[in-house]
Amino acid sequence: MVRGKDKPLYAVREIKDLKDMLEQSVKIYGDKPAFYVKTEAGKDYKPISYKQFKQDVEALGTELMDLGLKGKRIAIIGENRYEWAVSYLAIVNGIGIVVPLDKDLPVHELENLLNVSEASGIFFSGKYEKDIINICKGLPQVKTLISMERNTGNKNIHCIYDLIDKGRKKTEAGDKRFINEPINAEEMSILLFTSGTTGLAKGVMLSQKNICTNLMAMCQMVYIDEKDIFLSVLPIHHTYECTCGFLAPIYRGCTIAYCEGLRHIVKNLKESKATMMLGVPLLFESMYKKIWQQAEKSGMASKLKFAIKINKFLNILGIDLSKKLFSKIHDNFGGHIRLFISGGAGIDPLVSKGFRELGIHMVQGYGLTECSPIAALNRDCYFKDDAAGLPLPGMEVKIHNPDADGIGEIICKGDNVMLGYYQNDAETRKVLKDGWFYTGDLGFIDKDGFVHITGRQKNVIVTKNGKNIFPEEVEAYLGRSKYIAESLVWGKYDEKSGETYVNAQIVPDFEAVTEVLGENYAEQDLYKLIQNEVREVNHKMPLYKRIADFTIRKEEFQKTTTRKIKRYMEKLQ
């Protein structure tokens, strides 16, 4: 039996919409820091209280009304930062529809999405000012440009802080238009564009009821409270980080510290004293590999393995000396981390288990933008490392048309499921049927109710005799090699035999390769090294799943901002 099976769900408070959520949180947490921000790169974090956050949201919302943006669609383009959070809640809590956009999209794609969404205004970071000005020359419907910086030299661009100052004077003088604006929790409030890894962007329409349902459900599964500090690392425009790394912490009274960039994670973990961090498998798997690479470099790998054995034995006795036995590792993560949460794709179970053996708990979840986003989540007290998780409270998840092994398409139903795709009834009808959302993901549900993902329906490799091979499974095996950074597996059809064979493109971990082969290694030596790793992987899999051929790739694959490989963008030979 999995430990914690009978532990009751955590208590949460009821919220009807995001305005209600913010008002409740301010009443409960008041002067407690809601955010840690840096006004200058490299400087110390400074706190911003829940009270100030709410005042800034209300002031900005009041001024947006006077800019004529009531009932409009307003885009936000920028990095993770306090001004992004203020803009988001000011828009949804009484103004109109928020359209979070990926700051890393090419200019022509941003222009297309701004046009399709019918945006009337844009909040943006200073570094994107030139691009936004050029884009808007061809978008006459965009009337209002708002910079998230403190100063802008362009008279046609508003400064968010000027708007907040003007709005605050009005609210302090008794202007309650925005504050008293009613919220319809069931209509579209959020328009999210998702291309995932398989094709063109679709606009996902979400309501505040969708989001709030997800917030309450996920917080019943994993315990977080006002003592927790989140380091916000993943791009906030994506629903995973926005719901789980921004709105959930505000709901539960946590503090959010914004990371200065991926290369600053370790430094920011220490500075903020973060206790939790959301990430994607590629990030956590890389972190875990580096722990062992460093241990091997320093000659401490055998001692680390021995310490893990001791810790396991002590845990059986109810003794936890993780922080003492692995103090250097904990210190590298800031010394306060208690939980990593992985999402966006399935993580190697050995990584989750490995972090736990080092005294850092890790769970994973499964979600889609269309589900606001979480559909299944491992509990912190009841989990399986090889599972995506248990269906959220109030959500139904089942397997449609399962095969002999119980594998079929995962479908789900609940109040967190989207309203539909924006201006795309045909695509909506394909995935929403009789209240059920057809995810396009394949998997099964085990006897304990845990959802397991085997792969995307579109990615499955089907052999001549009807066997199904999930590329994600083969890629997970390859990813365990310390000499392989990433891989992409696909099926290659052979006309002579009429069979489909497993092929792979492999990106080596060149740092690890250099350590074993030296600086001036020959290409044939690299090939032999990777070939040996592929052979090791093949020995662990049945014959029909084995990699028949592979090529070595020097540059990393194109990825989404949540670090998923864009399969449809890669030209495979």
Residue 197: pLDDT band (50, 70, 90) is: very low
Cβ atoms of residues 219 and 252 within 8 Å: yes
How high is the pLDDT of residue 570? Answer: 58
Q: Is the pLDDT of residue 37 over 60?
A: yes
Q: How far is the C-alpha of 461 from the C-alpha of 45, rounded, in Å? A: 49
How high is the pLDDT of residue 1? Answer: 34
Residue 276: pLDDT band (50, 70, 90) is: very high
pLDDT in tens, 480-524: 999 999 999 988 877 777 788 899 999 999 999 999 999 989 999
Q: Is the pLDDT of residue 196 over 60?
A: no
How high is the pLDDT of residue 115? Answer: 94
pTM: 0.86
End-to-end CA distance of the chain: 46
How high is the pLDDT of residue 465? Answer: 66
pLDDT in tens, 64-77: 999 999 999 999 99
Q: How far is the C-alpha of 330 from the C-alpha of 291, rounded, in Å? A: 11
- How far, CA to CA in Å, does 383 sit from each of 91, 218, 301, 519? 37, 14, 28, 43
- How far, CA to CA in Å, does 125 sit from each of 61, 78, 156, 338? 19, 5, 15, 32
Least confident stretch, 170-184, 198-212, 350-364, 365-379: 198-212
Name all domains of the chain by residue range, CATH numbers in brackets: 22-183 (3.40.50.12780), 208-418+435-457 (3.40.50.12780), 460-569 (3.30.300.30)
**Residue range 112-135: mean pLDDT, rounded:** 95
At residue 240, φ and ψ (nearest 5 deg) are -60, -55
- How far, CA to CA in Å, does 294 sit from each of 291, 337, 461, 484? 5, 20, 37, 16
How high is the pLDDT of residue 198? Answer: 41
Q: Are strands 374-377 and 390-391 parallel, antiparallel or unpaired?
A: antiparallel
**Residue range 392-409: mean pLDDT, rounded:** 95
How high is the pLDDT of residue 199? Answer: 45
Q: Is the pLDDT of residue 464 over 70?
A: no
Q: What is the mean pLDDT of the chain?
A: 92
Upper half-sphere CA count for residue 52 (Cβ side, 13 Å): 13
How high is the pLDDT of residue 466? Answer: 66
Residue 572: pLDDT band (50, 70, 90) is: low
Residue 262: pLDDT band (50, 70, 90) is: confident
Peptide bond preceding 373 in cis form (omega within 30 of 0): yes
